[in-house]
Structure 1
Amino acid sequence: MNDIAAETRTGSFVPAGQPRNRRVGRSRAGLRRSVVLALAVPVVSAALAAPSAFAATAGTGTGTGTGTTVAAGVGASGHTYPVGPGDQQLVANLDARVLDQRLGSDVGGVVLDADSGSTVWDHNGSTALLPASNVKLATATAALTVLGPEHRFTTRVVYGDGTLTLVGGGDRTLGSDGLAELAKAAVAGLKEAGLSTVKVAVDDSLFPEPTLADGWNEGYYPDSVAPVRALVVDGRGVQDTSIDAGQTFAGLLAENGITVDGDVTRGAARRTDTPLAHHSSAPLADIVRKMLKTSDNNIAETLLRTTALGAGRPATFEGGTEVVRQVLSRRYGVSLQNFVIHDGSGLSRTDRIPAATLAQILELLTEPRHARLLGSILDGLPVAGEAGSTLGPEWGRFDDPNSRCAVGKVRAKTGTLTGAIALSGLTRSEDGEWRVFSFIENGSTAAPGDIKDAMDGLAATVNGCWA
């Protein structure tokens, strides 16, 4: 048993159509059902604090909680659960379409009715599968919860004993313009002090080693992901982003009349050093949107490390993933059953997450009480057919005759690795109710484009446009 599965589980996914929401208050579908949470996971930060229990109003039987009579159905996994009259065709279609040979035989899927708090459909929903970039949903949720949507990353320049030190603050979005501003301000400070020659060092000690996660293939870096460091410029994919940024900074100093003595080295800024300049990033909410739209692996890993720091943990892969687990389980009551992650991006081939857990994370986005903290995740999810996102036409998404009807109607996070494709998101049914879904396949031998077409078809089925 792994260390995650051994944790006390809260808000566990329950098949058979029973409510699994952790909500309070009323929605258009009526009073939400919830379960009492056994909050046994240690608190790592005040940001993780949550009520110790919610009002338990869940019932039993085949009712929906709104007085509607439902019929019993049998899903592709063989379980029996209540099916509302309006969902019987949806369930039948999903049961048939999940067996599409393009998806292979190792498929997990879940559809939730976020408004009534029930599970509409489940096919191996609690099975642990390689989720690929769908891990970023967990990373974003934890980062926003611990750090807050307004958090900004700061890069600094300090001077001491003849050395100008560029101090990385984990800003993966720092660009050439921002670095040029830092250099200009630093040059002004040096000249004011009568200095024209300096050594240049970089301090990226904010993120300790290792720089590579368990389960990353050598072919991933530095193109798919760079070794994780706290300093980078223009998101350049190089082995040592910190030294690269320092060399670019040194060149900017030289262009402005400062002589750089020797090569750029690593060094540690001291408290006694004189601050000369600083640069702040855009708010975290904006960075999360960018990360999700383009599935940026490097931003995800930076967020994981910074989230660990924000919760008082070491800024390592282990520290970050520990905080992600605690945020999901303690703060939001999301199930950790069969949940294993070793990074923030989902590139690790040792990551495992059930479709049910991903659906629970996404279901949080439908709750108004979480809108302030988590709203940028919903905004950042690629929209079917949206150019410039991972669901855009340039990636061949939602261009199949069966799924084209869902263009503009589905928001979802993609996930693609060799042997694993995932699609998890939200859509609204014809009556305007939220439907949350997650589909993951592992091991299909079909062409990736064909697998994605089949998965897009499942999303269009959930939307109802492919009836």
Structure 2
Amino acid sequence: MLRRCSALIAVFLLSGLLTRTGLATADAAPRAPKTLLPASASALPPASGPLAALLEHAEPTASADTPDWTDRIDARLVALAAEPRRSSEDAPSRRLREAVDAALGELDPRTRAAVEIRELGSAQVLAAHEPGRALNPASNQKLVSAIAAAELLGPDYRFQTSVLRRGDALILRGEGDPDLHVADLHALVDELLAEPGALEGVRRVLVDDHAFSDRRLGPGFSAEGCGDSYIAPSGALALDYATLEITLRPGRYRGPVEVEVSPTPAGLGEGERAEGIVELVNTARTESGRPRVCTEAGEGGRTRVRVEGALPAGHAPMTLRRRVADPGLLAGGVFAQLLAERSEGPALPVARAALPAQPGEDTRLLATHESAPLIAALASALRYSNNFTAEQVLRTLAWRASGRPGSWAEGARVLERFAAAVSVHAGDQRMINGSGLSREGRLTPRFVLDVLALCRRPGSPAALLLASFAEAGGEGTLRNRNPVAGPRLLAKTGTYAGASSLSGLVYDSTGARALSFSVLLNGGDLERNRAAQDRIVAAMLRALD
């Protein structure tokens, strides 16, 4: 899967800082590759275990030319509902119960807590504290969304981005790829230009992102603020996690700060009256002070980058990531710019258009990019808590399940159907979006563990997805959580609006036995809440030794 590791780690560190200051969850978007440079990209560390096997042998799942997605998902839900369920039963462990009670006893009295620990193989409940209490799960919602997507779409599902020709237009069509980068557009341009005369008579670029509904910010996502990257918009065609990388460098003393925006679309404009897809308004000066960098929506889906304040002379370059207004328009603009650079011609104008699901005889396919398998793409959401990835996947699930443009309302309905198929506790849940970035979402620990129970089936989509979880001390949000546990702890963190959550699996030293757990805490002190979660995990590790 193409992505720069250093960029992912940088955004993870940023998200941790935002969480500590109360500005965000650990859900900041990973930084994407530097753009409009040579189309090279670094890979994540080599995959191992089930993920490596899947990547080696996976074949692309059916895509837009497969008409039966609704029936396939319906059938999969029926099959999940028909699987034998192991009813949870109490088999208390005194050591674990005492450890849970002791950890919760250290919490702020205002903290609301819900906990359950089960034996993964037998569903025996070893310890619990109000496990049916519905609390805000924050990013633990991503566990449910990711497992639902893997089970219903298939672990080897691949997103397609394609270039088609109709009349005098090239059509850039997206199907929700959460991991599309400029290097991938380079590859599309290479494939396109390999055909002689491919650009003959072409006068415009059209963006087709109608696999998703027109709404771009999900429920719980605020349009206010400075354009923080962890609240990026969603679209069927989106580049670099629907964000821009903005780099500031000092200029001459008391002169303008130098600003670089990446990726650079065709028609980048500067000044208050600019009319490019991205408009840069830079009033920052090179002198003592601090800069302020924001993005805002301009007319016609344009993204306005506003740089104000000051950057001291001699200051090191400063790079920030901010969301865009219209992901599809930006992707189309970058594609047009790459075409212009490679063909040495003028940049084509970019507009939006919708194609039928099955294009007619007047439209032909010229180039196609396929993403990595779904479970590889989901590592961004599960390890780094990338909100954008979770929302892209949820809306793709909604599109495939309904046959209509993917909306959050339809996505929530699919999650509800999934919940009813795998858990007798589905009625107590409230799922608002795919990422958990909401004050309104509610899950119970016993439901989360019903979903995690799907991982016990060897070779199942949910079991394969475990390779994309964060592990203690490794890359992602568990880097500094129980690091000595290493691969014995696979879990998902969550932090937002007073909610702190940790759910996942703890293994014995051989990997043969596993406990599933969910610790949801709302209110109180964040550091004390995390310390309590870590103490509970440590107790599970000791119990398995």
Q: Which structure 2 residues correspond to residues 388-403 of structure 1 after superposition, within 5 A?
A: 388-393=475-480, 397-398=481-482
Deviation (angstroms), 1:103: 8.0
Flag the 1:366–1:193 CA change in 2: closer, same or farther, 3 A: closer
Preserved CA contact (<8 Å) 1:291 1:297: yes
Taking structure 1 as reference, are residues 249 and 135 closer, same or farther at Cα in structure 2, changes over 3 Å only? Answer: same
What is the CA distance between 1:343 and its match in structure 2?
0.5
Cross-structure match for 1:414:
493
Distance 2:86 2:519 in 1: 29
Matches within 5 A, 1:54-453: 82-83=91-92, 87-102=93-108, 104-189=110-195, 191-192=196-197, 195=200, 197-218=202-223, 222-237=228-243, 238-257=324-343, 259-260=345-346, 263-269=349-355, 270-271=359-360, 272-314=362-404, 315-330=406-421, 332-333=422-423, 335-368=425-458, 371-386=459-474, 388-393=475-480, 397-398=481-482, 405-429=484-508, 432-444=512-524, 446=525, 448-453=526-531
Distance in 2 (alpha carbons) for counterparts of 1:55 and 1:465 = 28
Report deviation, 1:55: 6.5
Q: Please say if residues 488 and 508 of structure 2, whose CA atoms lie closer than 8 Å, have aligned partners that are also in contact.
A: no
**Which consecutive residues of structure 1, in runs of 5 or more, have no partner in the other structure?**
1-41, 65-80, 399-403
SS of the residue corresponding to residue 427 of structure 2 reads coil
Displacement after TM superposition at 1:349 (Å): 1.6
- The amino acid across from 1:306 in the alignment is T
Query: Residue 363 of structure 1 aligns to a residue in which SS?
Result: helix
SS of the counterpart of 2:331? helix
Give the distance between the partners of 1:426 and 1:90, measured in 2 at CA: 15
The one-letter code sitting in structure 2 at the alignment partner of 1:208 is: S
CA shift in 2, pair 1:353/1:262, >3 Å: same
Aligned residue for 1:93, secondary structure, equals helix
Identity %: 30
Deviation at 1:192, TM superposition (A): 2.0
Q: What does 1:21-36 align with in structure 2 at a 5 Å threshold?
A: none
* Residues 193 and 53 of structure 1: CA distance in aligned 2, closer, same or farther (over 3 Å): closer
The count of aligned residue pairs is 388
Aligned to 1:454: 532
Q: TM-score, normalised to structure 2's length?
A: 0.66
Give, in whole Å, the separation in 2 of the partners of 1:174 and 1:215: 24
Shift of 1:258: 5.5
User: 3-state DSSP class of the match of 1:212?
Assistant: coil
Deviates more, 1:232-241 or 1:131-140: 232-241
Question: Relative to structure 1, is the Cα distance of residues 94 and 246 closer, same or farther in structure 2, using a 3 angstrom cutoff?
Answer: same
Q: 1:125-152 deviations in whole A, cap 9, x for unaligned?
A: 1111110111111111211122111111
For residues 370-393 of structure 1, the C-alpha deviation after alignment (integer angstroms, 9 at most, x for no partner) is x3311232112211111x211013
User: Structure 1 CA distance, aligned partners of 2:472 and 2:516?
Assistant: 15
Determine helix, strand or coil for the equivalent of 2:419. Answer: helix
Q: 1:213 to 1:466 in 2, by over 3 A?
A: same
CA offsets, 1:70-113, max 9 Å, x none?
xxxxxxxxxxx553xxx212211211211212584301111112
| Alpha-carbon distance between aligned partners in 1 of 2:110 and 2:116, rounded to the nearest angstrom | 17
Using the TM superposition, give the Cα deviation of residue 334 of structure 1 relative to its aligned residue in structure 2, in angstroms.
5.1
One-letter identity of the residue aligned with 1:352:
R
1:49 aligns with 2:135: no
In structure 2, the residue corresponding to 1:155 is in which secondary structure? strand
Change (3 A) 1:92 1:181: same
Q: Aligned partner of 1:389: which letter?
A: G
For residue 229 of structure 2, give the secondary structure of its aligned residue in structure 1: coil
Equivalent residues of 1:435, 1:463 under 8 A apart:
no
CA distance 1:321–1:405, shift in 2 (3 Å): same
Report the residue type matching 1:285 in the other structure.
I
| Equivalent residue, structure 2, for 1:24 | none
CA contact (8 A) 1:104 1:441 kept: no
Contact 1:99–1:105 under 8 Å retained in 2? no
Distance 1:194 1:267, change over 3 A: closer
Change (3 A) 1:201 1:309: same
Q: Which runs of 5+ in 2 are unaligned?
A: 1-70, 244-323
CA contact (8 A) 2:161 2:173 kept: yes
C-alpha change, 1:405 and 1:156, in structure 2 (3 Å) is closer
Matched, 1:464 2:542: yes
1:407-440 Cα offsets, whole Å, 9 max, x none, are 4421111111121110001112579532110001
CA offset at residue 283 of structure 1? 0.9
Q: What is the identity, as a one-letter code, of the residue corresponding to 2:417? A: Q
* TM superposition shift of 1:249: 0.5
CA 1:219 to 1:459, structure 2 compared with 1: closer, same or farther past 3 Å?
farther
Aligned partners of 2:353 and 2:544: how far apart in 1? Answer: 59
What SS does the corresponding residue of 2:433 show, helix, strand or coil? coil
Return the alpha-carbon distance in structure 1 between the equivalents of residues 389 and 109 of structure 2.
30
